[in-house]
Amino acid sequence: MTGGGGGIDGRASVLVINVARIGDTLLATPVIRALREAFPAGKIGCLLHPARVDLLRGLPWLDALGTITPKTARWRGRIGGRRWDVALVYGKDAPLIRYAARVAERVVAFRQGREELNRLLWRAVEAPGNMHAVHERLLLPQAIGATTRDFRLAFFPSEPERDRAARFVDRNVPATGKRLVAMQMASFPTKSYRDWPIESFADLGRRILDTYPDAHLLLLGGKESRKRAAWLAGKVGSRATVLAGRMGIRDTAAVMERVHLYVGVDTGPTHLAGALGIPMVALYHCHHPGRNLVPLGHERLRAIEHPATGSGCTPRAPMSMIPVDAVWRQVRSLLDPVGIRRCTP
């Protein structure tokens, strides 16, 4: 196991444990890329929450993909000994740290709040201050000598998923709807302060449809967003299709891959749009500024920061402070160059 960067050679087996939401899962994909670059002959594995494992299916740098939760980690890994050279653990769930210590020779994580857990770590990485989320996550592989110059997020739809997406668009979007605009109107309920007002989305949607006769809106979201999406569809008429709650994350991503523009608040599908590399306008709350979260290496991104960013913002600062005019200008900068031929991945 010795002989390379961080004392670990290119044949090492490295396990990444990252039990997180959609966005935090995608923000760690450059970590997997960095590990493969550093350990080309090694084995790279990843354990995720069961609801997130589909996000990394098809990722070419992974050799093994599985699921874990803090609850299941309590009883796993007690038989069979240490099967990994190194485990990188994200977060501060004690059961995950203890599981990693049972299955890996060396465990790397950010410094924990309990010294008993820090004693299980081969390297306790100091938590950073104000830095981009991707660079923060890359601090763990850097502790074992793994680096990358490619900070882009990654997601790979399969060909069957792309075929289903094409059929969905053909069935649900009129022939006149050649300029597809996807909208993600809400974050998850516990971070609803990141939501731009639904009335602002309606205003933006009307401007898009009035300005571009060939435009059609796809309204994204989970089951919890169905009412908001249906309300917005009612405001803009037949030139909108409600996708919220109708399909899983992978099929949704394959549909997103076909759009000409994505507009969304700071939430999982916005990171997914960044991973797909599609033109996008992303709106960020000052409590979670875009400078720490925007997709890196994305040439067709327009990030809109909350006006209170950098001024002692709290979650109480309303997203209504972002004017529709500011978003509209960025939408036009990306939509105006688009021709009328439907996008094909």
Sketch out the chain's domains with CATH numbers: 5-142 (3.40.50.2000), 159-335 (3.40.50.2000)
Using pLDDT thresholds of 50, 70 and 90, give the confidence band for residue 2: very low
Decide: helix, strand or coil at residue 63.
coil
| Strands laid side by side in the 240-242 sheet | 240-242, 215-220, 179-184, 261-265, 280-284, 301-305
Using pLDDT thresholds of 50, 70 and 90, give the confidence band for residue 310: confident
- Answer yes or no: is pLDDT of 215 > 70: yes
Using pLDDT thresholds of 50, 70 and 90, give the confidence band for residue 24: very high
pLDDT recorded at residue 81: 84
pLDDT recorded at residue 344: 40
pLDDT recorded at residue 105: 96
**pLDDT digits over 128-140, tens only?**
878 999 999 999 9
Could you tell me what percent of the chain has a pLDDT over 90? 84
Q: How is residue 295 annotated by DSSP?
A: P
For residues 7-27, give the mean pLDDT: 93
In angstroms, rounded to a whole number, what is the distance separating the alpha carbons of residues 277 and 298? 6
**pLDDT digits over 242-290, tens only?**
999 999 999 999 999 999 999 999 999 999 999 999 999 999 999 999 9
Decide: helix, strand or coil at residue 62.
coil
Do 219 and 229 touch, CB atoms closer than 8 A?
yes
In angstroms, rounded to a whole number, what is the distance separating the alpha carbons of residues 223 and 220? 10
Calculated CA dihedral for residues 62, 65, 70, 71, nearest 10 degrees:
-170
What angle do the packed helices 198-211 and 324-335 form, to 10 degrees? 40
145: left (phi over 0), alpha (psi -120 to 50) or beta: left
In angstroms, rounded to a whole number, what is the distance separating the alpha carbons of residues 200 and 197? 5
Q: How many CB atoms lie within 10 A of CB 332?
A: 14
pTM: 0.92
- Answer yes or no: is pLDDT of 54 > 60: yes
For residues 112-125, give the mean pLDDT: 96
For residues 315-330, give the mean pLDDT: 97
- Answer yes or no: is pLDDT of 341 > 90: no
**pLDDT digits over 162-177, tens only?**
999 999 999 999 887 7
pLDDT recorded at residue 1: 42
pLDDT recorded at residue 175: 82
In angstroms, rounded to a whole number, what is the distance separating the alpha carbons of residues 189 and 151? 29
Question: How far, in Å, are 101, 106, 122 from residue 10 at the CA level?
Answer: 21, 16, 19
pLDDT recorded at residue 104: 97
Contacts of 113 (CB under 8 A, 6+ apart): 92
**pLDDT digits over 73-82, tens only?**
999 998 888 9
- Give the DSSP per-residue string, 166-194: HHHHHHHS-TT--EEEEEE----GGGGGG
pLDDT recorded at residue 200: 97
For residues 126-155, give the mean pLDDT: 95
- Answer yes or no: is pLDDT of 339 > 70: no
pLDDT recorded at residue 345: 40
Question: Which run of H or of E encompasses 46?
Answer: strand 43-48
pLDDT recorded at residue 7: 64
pLDDT recorded at residue 318: 96
Question: Which run of H or of E encompasses 220?
Answer: strand 215-220
* Average pLDDT for the chain: 93
